[in-house]
A and B are shown apart, each in its own frame.
Chain A
């Protein structure tokens, strides 16, 4: 992947992530009246989402741990590669 392609890839990921954060605020702007169903969800979701986070987070962090352990083994293999390559 070239440097430009890397920048486009990062930009695509930033755009996707930001869309998930901005979309509710774009759909339901504060200067317009929020539909009653959405106002209801706005009241119900915080407690439910906190519950979901308590279930979700240990999974996510277990994943971090797996990733960084994998990177550890990768590092060792590149080190030996460099060591065997005096140039």
Chain B
């Protein structure tokens, strides 16, 4: 049991290093942000561990400062995180036969964990479930540690996080390219770039994701019934 996890951890840790760098510092900036609004360091600790969805947590701070309206907050969370629905649909097959680990794998399915778990070819001899749990767990540790450190340091330190995001964008582009090279049918990848890009240009950065997702879904469903895209 322990051996399975230590093997998986050894394979996973190097893969998560770019995420470690970015999450620690982005987490710190979240901790700064929420504590600058007068909240104690417990807030970044608990919210980052329980919500574990970066952009949502920044919005949560605004919600905590607004009049009490939990129903609105619930639906906002649904909207902002609607992209997770696609992650779930993509992982139905991969999460099969992972037993109780599945619960944690779904709970901690953030953008970065999804990207690694969905696209990494896991070497033989490493347990699939343990591998994916390690990815989620490490990423969550980085994020919660960053947020808590940020909360504890509070106003005593200023960090310029500009440019840090580059590590993650580079990571995602690398994953995208390696996935491109490992598949013969590039239609889904091309659609995945073109449709959101068109929506971004037409609608703007604030709300282009839900329409982009709907369009992608429509195209794939049409392709399924008309047989336009081969499996």
Cβ-neighbour of B216 out of A14, A38, A39, A52 (below 8 A): A52
Residues of A near B36 (CB, < 8 A) are: 71-72, 74-75, 78
Residues of B near A46 (CB, < 8 A) are: 90, 118-119, 179, 188
| Contact across chains for B220 and A10 when beta carbons are under 8 A apart | no
Interface residues on A, range: 35 or more
Q: If A1-B68, A55-B197 touch, does A13 touch B73 (CB 8 Å cutoff)? A: yes
Interface residues on B, range: 35 or more
| Contact across chains for A6 and B64 when beta carbons are under 8 A apart | yes
| Contact across chains for A64 and B161 when beta carbons are under 8 A apart | yes
Cβ-neighbour of A60 out of B54, B65, B86, B88 (below 8 A): B54
| Contact across chains for B53 and A17 when beta carbons are under 8 A apart | yes
How many CB-defined contacts (below 8 Å) exist between A and B?
242
| Contact across chains for A53 and B111 when beta carbons are under 8 A apart | yes
A67 vs B51: C-alpha distance when bound (angstroms): 18
| Contact across chains for B162 and A60 when beta carbons are under 8 A apart | no
A56 vs B82: C-alpha distance when bound (angstroms): 13
Q: If A54-B173, A63-B58, A71-B32 touch, does A9 touch B70 (CB 8 Å cutoff)? A: yes
| Contact across chains for A22 and B106 when beta carbons are under 8 A apart | yes
Overall SS of chain A's interface: helix
A16 sits at the interface (CB 8 A): yes
| Contact across chains for A56 and B209 when beta carbons are under 8 A apart | yes
| Contact across chains for A38 and B92 when beta carbons are under 8 A apart | yes
| Contact across chains for B92 and A49 when beta carbons are under 8 A apart | no
A-B pairs with beta carbons under 8 Å apart, 27 shown: A8-B68, A9-B68, A10-B60, A12-B71, A21-B88, A24-B91, A25-B95, A42-B92, A42-B93, A44-B223, A48-B191, A49-B114, A49-B118, A50-B176, A51-B190, A51-B191, A51-B196, A52-B83, A52-B213, A54-B173, A54-B176, A57-B168, A61-B26, A63-B55, A64-B58, A68-B29, A74-B37
